[in-house]
Structure 1
């Protein structure tokens, strides 16, 4: 069997527009762009002028001062252009790197910094785990080793460790068998490879140690904290949909427990120290009839699944096994794990809705309720907010922490509807600003559930939470350009939304442009800044503006950087994950630049206030065909962390396209001639 025969056909080959590779399209999102759009509703963009004057006033007050100051600040162009006077950025001191061509297989950092992997795919983390041997993999070994394609990332310092001990937590989103394994010699070997991929999904918790703050970490192979969560780990369902008929299967007639998590993309860390993980493209793992409205809305079909797990477990094939017709209903949720308690059963929170979750990030409102912001990462899908019923308890007592771990089990779920304040004729689809000088307006959080009941006519509460997309369709939510990471700022309370791209915006038969999604065939994406009414995270109205209209200013006339001079920024495309540093700057990791602006993906810092508002500086670039994920910025320590996902994804086992991160490192006496997704640390020297 040839290497090519180990892979399914790639329907997006020759047709990719906003992504780097048809392999990504196949393995990560199931060739979504080659399929029909899941959102077939005719929800229109609403131009509600009521309240716009107040919103516009707040926008002018927030941005005007910075815009006026642009001419008086100090910045040296990193690309050899004419320096313009702009103020120095607060936080980490570095000189922006030039863009790195998409053919380069290297991890590039600024002068004065070094990088090294903390941990790589296959590194042993549990007792009894063997050393990684790419030629002799087994499911048993992989379940004890670090998983594949790490995405969301955080490093949580352990109390009393003086900054010298911490826990690394990361998602393992999906696998790429074409570069993980040699071609299967027979059917038994093929099935064994499928079992290995199941064990390579999920999450990992790994203890770290270092000499002192600001120095690189090493991971501990032996620690009571170390843990792997896979596609077979038992989970408990919480919230109103748990135990309902739509959750019951032949293996779980109570509808309260489920095996595994997969497609885990971004996430968040809660104030009580747990990790939230978003189950994203779960439909790729199931074969279902695809006949019902709910199944169609989530992209489920009767075709063979992307990963083929139905060949080894019947629960992934509801067509051949009707007793599992509800199995897909048990995926697509926000997962919560406790990294401090390896014995704790992880949970899936149905109260937060079911969608292709990029992740969830929380803030504590003034009244103590917890608010989580979530994006549904698909073309023309929606932005959501969850407001808990319970309030957060401060302190680290056992009682307080036990209470806080139940906060996300009940609450009110909302979906966003955006309105612009410019005449429709001024939103041309080119990205040209309207005459008021900004893409901005107001918005409403439309309730889907309230006080434990459905707020959508014709839907029960469990129908809202299992078929959340259908419920959001029914209330007229605004179709967005792939809302991915959504992050509340830790000090200002403003909320930032990364809309990665949508190359079908404004094409025949698809939704046209509106002020919050202002470009047709939106290849490069944009970033939205939301200000909740009265700066109250629980509010049901908000103001908004577009902070960045991404692209390469050298070739795109529509790129916009909050008024900052476009010839003084790093080009950026396809914003994905967001983070903040201690100085209050926004950091953006990208996913898809090789296919849009011809550069490797990277990590970028963006100023949010004063003279540097909208200034974009590239900090690092990942190797060819890789995606930058899970940024963690500790500028007070001079350290940055990223998860490098799918390096060399277009290669094969026999002909790798990348040798990241080892390049020349020997393992077990033999050269590991394959790319290995890894968590990387960068530090000042």
Structure 2
């Protein structure tokens, strides 16, 4: 047993103690960051509010978010929806020890880019036994999360891929003989962001990396970012390296993100606290989970700025926890961190254009009992004026959400049973934190609201949530979908109990909240809400809810993490942690949200053992889906690997004589074979593995053999 895995005796189901240690610094075992006494979802015993009419489709520019297909780097809209969606027969749940990538019958899967793959003509070949920081800087980073693929309208066989590299799993990445300092140095370079040019032979062929792409770029630990907005230059952001407080170095813990209607990409800095050693005594340190213990990554042993006790670095941690915006079309551009969007553990941000023309971003703070936020730009979107639109996120209003349930409190008992009116629903308000450039929080300046957003939000009484992760507007029906992953502390001693929108105590499986802005415009301050799903496995006796769809006809689903939409507006959910008891591998699931089959969950794919599904993306017009497979085989070690994904071999890599390594990978799933090489096919149970054991790059035969 590893000594650094304090969650080993506490995790349940498939969730790994390694993920808890490396991704979020064992947050569930630590003191709850939010100890404020503000209200939870208050259950109102009054007449049920009338349901609001479904919003119309958002402005055309928002469609780019769903299909992430930008017509050109200067345009903000994509082709109109209506081409339907991917058709498939749902696969069965896959047992957690299975080391396969499984897709439906009739589909094949193809790795696009893996950890260590070259990105430039001079990139060294990946050699895990002789990896170096210099090599890693020129290669694809580790634990890819959010994905964006923008097809170039001028040449639809070329595209730009953007990916986050969130964190590293050092135990399975490096030989045991490698010095600890060398491992840390390589891992620092494996973090960050990547832009890659892609190419394909035709519209239904797999994508592959063009190492000669002029826009290929790595955003590294020493890349400079400019701060924008009211807190830029604040005393709270100044350090000895950047005494003006106008810039930051690097980005950390990048989880999900979004494609803007003007073709840039936004990325959320999430679990940044795990990279710092701090005093841990101030209210702000405690609220953000910063403490005096050695950090999970140990970088303070090598780089002074990761120890905020060191002279000149008291504010270094304040420089993380932001929304980052990158222009992938301009390799010379400077990335920015937007202070007006608040500082917290951003899962990501997703931007839509309201009917009034304002850019609106929805954001979740991914920690138990934290909040849901919204940003509304001051200026309006101008079609075709990309330089103007790139400034929309620098100035505007910031809100936090407060929800109210409409069922009697006695009917919300923590079991997850549906109340007597047949659904979990209610109304809500967007409470202002910053409005018209002025603080709306007593005792906080604008700068203080934005740098210490959690503390400011506590003051206005928003709703404590069960870990809001991805939050995305649906470009077809205009509603907002919030993935609440789980909250094992809900209803435990001294913690908030169940309420109508968090209806289960010790919520292990999570749920999906659906929000309808009441005014019909995303800039409004009132909304209605309902729960689309209360997740779990009905066959294990879990209290579940699928919007009235029969529970015995759905795929079991747990711990919803990232969401996206197809061109018909169906919701697609990737998971991080599968149901307890039997224990399944994580997967990607389609959920019907309109009509008689509303609430129907169908599993589309399953990832290998100990892996997580991230960054789902549906290009149904090209018969494709994409996922980022993160930390496959994470419970292993370098000498005892638990996965061989994606380069499955019989036993050893004959080139080096070492066990085949698991490598986080961006994967494309295509209906048919993609004419890209291997002959992956579905088996007679509908679990098509499509595994051509290689790169399916449309340029010749696949590398390796079918598995």
Please say whether Structure 1 and Structure 2 have the same fold, judged by a TM-score greater than 0.5.
Answer: yes
Does 2:431 match 1:446? Answer: yes
Residue of structure 2 aligned with 1:335, choices 300, 307, 324 = 324
Residue of structure 2 aligned with 1:233, choices 201, 223, 233 = 223
Change (3 A) 1:60 1:281: closer
Residue of structure 2 aligned with 1:220, choices 210, 213, 220 = 210
Does 2:471 match 1:482? Answer: no
Partner of 1:301: 291
Per mean C-alpha deviation after superposition, the further-off stretch among 372-381 and 40-49 is 40-49
Change (3 A) 1:60 1:437: farther
Partner of 2:34: 39
Partner of 1:275: 265
Query: Is the contact between residue 577 and residue 589 of structure 1 (CA under 8 Å) also seen in structure 2?
Result: yes
Does 2:10 match 1:15? Answer: yes
Larger relative contact order, structure 1 or 2 (CA cutoff 8 Å, min sep 6)? 2
Partner of 1:160: 154
Deviation at 1:562, TM superposition (A): 0.5
Specify every segment of 5 or more residues in structure 1 that has no aligned partner in the other structure, as ranges: 63-88
Residues 57-112 of structure 1, C-alpha deviations (whole Å, 9 max, x = no match): 338999xxxxxxxxxxxxxxxxxxxxxxxxxx952110000000001000000000
Residues 235-294 of structure 1, C-alpha deviations (whole Å, 9 max, x = no match): 111111110100000111100011100100000000010000000000000011011101
| Partner Cα separation in structure 1 for residue 258 and residue 361 of structure 2 | 9
What SS is found at the alignment partner of 1:322?
coil
Deviation at 1:570, TM superposition (A): 0.4
Residue of structure 2 aligned with 1:264, choices 247, 254, 263 = 254
Query: Is the contact between residue 501 and residue 526 of structure 1 (CA under 8 Å) also seen in structure 2?
Result: yes
Superposed, which structure 2 residues align to 1:493-508 within 5 Å? 493-508=478-493
Deviation at 1:126, TM superposition (A): 2.1
Q: What do you get for the CA RMSD once the two structures are aligned?
A: 1.8
Residue of structure 2 aligned with 1:346, choices 327, 335, 340 = 335
| Partner Cα separation in structure 2 for residue 651 and residue 206 of structure 1 | 30
Partner of 2:418: 433
What SS is found at the alignment partner of 1:535?
coil
Query: Is the contact between residue 51 and residue 442 of structure 1 (CA under 8 Å) also seen in structure 2?
Result: no
Partner of 2:373: 384
What SS is found at the alignment partner of 1:175?
coil
Deviation at 1:634, TM superposition (A): 1.2
Deviation at 1:664, TM superposition (A): 2.0
Query: Is the contact between residue 269 and residue 348 of structure 2 (CA under 8 Å) also seen in structure 1?
Result: yes
| Partner Cα separation in structure 1 for residue 326 and residue 377 of structure 2 | 18
| Partner Cα separation in structure 2 for residue 172 and residue 367 of structure 1 | 35
Q: Which 4+ stretches in 1 moved above 6 angstroms? A: 59-62
Query: Is the contact between residue 16 and residue 595 of structure 1 (CA under 8 Å) also seen in structure 2?
Result: no
| Partner Cα separation in structure 1 for residue 147 and residue 537 of structure 2 | 28
Partner of 2:92: 98
Residues 377-404 of structure 1, C-alpha deviations (whole Å, 9 max, x = no match): 0000000000000111112xxxx11111
Does 2:239 match 1:244? Answer: no
Change (3 A) 1:168 1:152: same
Change (3 A) 1:114 1:215: same
Superposed, which structure 2 residues align to 1:517-556 within 5 Å? 517-556=502-541
Deviation at 1:17, TM superposition (A): 3.3
Partner of 1:358: 347
Change (3 A) 1:41 1:364: same
Does 2:362 match 1:367? Answer: no
What SS is found at the alignment partner of 1:140?
helix
| Partner Cα separation in structure 2 for residue 61 and residue 310 of structure 1 | 49
Task: Give the structure-1-normalised TM-score.
Answer: 0.92
Task: Give the structure-2-normalised TM-score.
Answer: 0.89
Number of aligned residues: 644
Specify every segment of 5 or more residues in structure 2 that has no aligned partner in the other structure, as ranges: 57-82, 673-707
Residue of structure 1 aligned with 2:648, choices 649, 652, 663 = 663
Does 2:570 match 1:564? Answer: no
Query: Is the contact between residue 21 and residue 595 of structure 1 (CA under 8 Å) also seen in structure 2?
Result: no
Deviation at 1:44, TM superposition (A): 2.3
Deviation at 1:19, TM superposition (A): 6.2
| Partner Cα separation in structure 2 for residue 104 and residue 552 of structure 1 | 19
Partner of 1:113: 107
Query: Is the contact between residue 45 and residue 407 of structure 2 (CA under 8 Å) also seen in structure 1?
Result: no
